[in-house]
Amino acid sequence: MAPVRRILLKLSGEALMGPDGFGYHAETMAGFVGQVREVVALGVQVGIVVGGGNLFRGATGALSGMNRATADSMGMLATVMNALAFKDALQQAGVDVRVQTAVHIAHVGEDFDRDAAVRHLEAGRVVVFGGGTGNPFFTTDTAAALRAAEIGADLLLKATKVDGVYTADPKKDASARRYETLSFDEAIANNLAVLDTAAFALCREQKLNLVVFNVFKPGALKRVVMGEDEGTRVTFS
């Protein structure tokens, strides 16, 4: 099976810190970069939305008494820092990459521009999107779904620490089984937390198919884009 044409990869900030409790884990970052480089070599156009949880989470700040809009703005800045860190790691691996942010910060990255992003992708450049949606009260799941729809991605890929969506928590229930495929209606009926509500609704509206997979498995990203049995495919069409 031929690889898909264009993907949007959602990578959490927590994933970047690997086994550490904060910041960036060099070996983990190198593994992710290697997987991205593999699919770029196949001719797949790659957009990436990165979270900020390894540095700051807006919801956590709000729980400690901070104004939620202020806390979310800080979280958006954390995602910009992560976008820059991932850009640097990709560049050092020889990957052509650009950063676009939803928050204007001069001399840091390009302001988000859909047409410019598509031109970068068509030229073979990876585009890392920072700053979330640019608005408080929205998660980077929603930012990922939004950017995927805007750039016309064939697949939205949610990178996690587990190899798909299960009928129950596999750590607590030995009988839990992984869904190979899952429809939107099945996910809703079984109350499966695949994405946050706003992101899930946007995927359904735009008929944007989703794959949830374990990014810590070597070669998993390539297997997903090649259509192999990796992770869980959630279909909305």
* Residues making up the binding site: 10-13, 52-53, 57, 72, 133-140, 160, 166, 169
Nearest CA among 183, 186, 158 for reference residue 237: 183
Q: Of all helices (H) and strands (E), which one includes residue 7?
A: strand 6-11
Give the residue numbers of the binding site for ATP: 10-13, 53, 57, 160, 166, 169
Beta strands in 102-180 (DSSP E): 110-111, 126-130, 155-160
Instruction: Point out the annotated binding site for UMP.
Output: 52, 72, 133-140
Spatial distance between the Cα atoms of 114 and 3, rounded to a whole number of angstroms: 23
Q: Which residues pair with 110 in a beta bridge?
A: 100
Number of alpha carbons in the 13 Å side-chain half-sphere of residue 225: 26
Sheet holding 232-235, edge to edge: 110-111, 97-101, 126-130, 45-50, 6-11, 155-160, 210-214, 232-235, 181-183
Q: Which residues is 101 bridged to in the sheet? A: 111, 130
